[in-house]
Structure 1
Amino acid sequence: MLKVLEQVESVAYKLKLPQELSRVHNTFHVSNLKKCYSDDPLVVPLEGLQVDNKLHFVEEPVEIMDREVKQLRRSRVPIVKVRWNSRRGPEFTWEREDQFRKKYPHLFTKTAPSSSEKLNRR
């Protein structure tokens, strides 16, 4: 849990951060801090969280949930519905299959059947 170490100025606070967040600047202007109204203590576990060099959370795709073909004016684009391991809970996005396959080929060993394949099975 983060604790306020000291009030640096009337508008800035220095926070005591755990060692895992040592790359994060620990002094914040009050406009960047938000009050948290909660009955339970708000604790975000740091295990399993990955942060890149720019201190952005790294969210990885977990699985491909569905496939479709998006019909544009002059072309058809295969897309896949992807489930991500988001820190906010389950999150899904639609991505272009060709671009996604290049970046995450391991997810295409077992893929979900397309919507049309599901209909044909019935």
Structure 2
Amino acid sequence: MLKNFMGDPSLIIPTEDIEIKDSLSYEEIPIEILDRQVCKLRTKEVASVKVLWRNQFVEEATWEAKEDMKKRYPHLFEPGKIPNQGTNSLLSTL
């Protein structure tokens, strides 16, 4: 039993901003690509991108397959848009 619980009002997110559906679910929308990497397996290479999602912090960004993201969200891969390459590209320039 909880007694004298003091909630943090800064952690409450208005439901209008998230656009919750009647089934109490919502769709995550990718905001930008933070980083790219290629994992080398024995017989092939798998390209991945680190994706920042709406309503999440940078620490919660996830690695997704580049081809899947390119099919579902082609606007993130437009040639005129230069994504933020993150810390890996910063280290490679030093």
Aligned to 1:61: 30
Most deviating of 49-58 and 75-84: 49-58
Greater gyration radius: 1
Q: How far off is 1:39 after superposition? A: 4.4
Aligned to 1:72: 41
Q: How far off is 1:113 after superposition? A: 3.9
Query: What are the residue-to-residue correspondences of 1:14-93 with 2, within 5 Å?
Result: 37-41=5-9, 43-52=12-21, 54-86=23-55, 89-90=56-57, 91-93=60-62
TM-score w.r.t. structure 2 length? 0.70
Aligned length: 86
With over 3 angstroms needed to count, the CA separation of the structure-2 counterparts of 1:106 and 1:40, relative to structure 1, is same
How big is the alpha-carbon RMSD for the aligned residues of Structure 1 and Structure 2? 3.0
State the one-letter code of the partner of 2:47. Answer: P
C-alpha separation in 2, matches of 1:62 and 1:84:
5
- Give ranges in structure 1 of 5+ residues lacking alignment: 1-34
3-state SS, counterpart of residue 68 of structure 2: helix
State the one-letter code of the partner of 2:65. Answer: R
Of Structure 1 and Structure 2, the greater strand share is in: 1
Aligned to 1:112: 84
C-alpha separation in 1, matches of 2:73 and 2:24:
22
Contact 1:67–1:112 at 8 Å: present in 2 too?
no
Of Structure 1 and Structure 2, the greater helix share is in: 2
Identical-pair percentage: 38
TM-score w.r.t. structure 1 length? 0.56
Higher relative CO (Cα under 8 Å, sequence separation at least 6) belongs to 2
3-state SS, counterpart of residue 61 of structure 2: strand
> Runs ≥4 in structure 1, deviation > 6 angstroms?
none
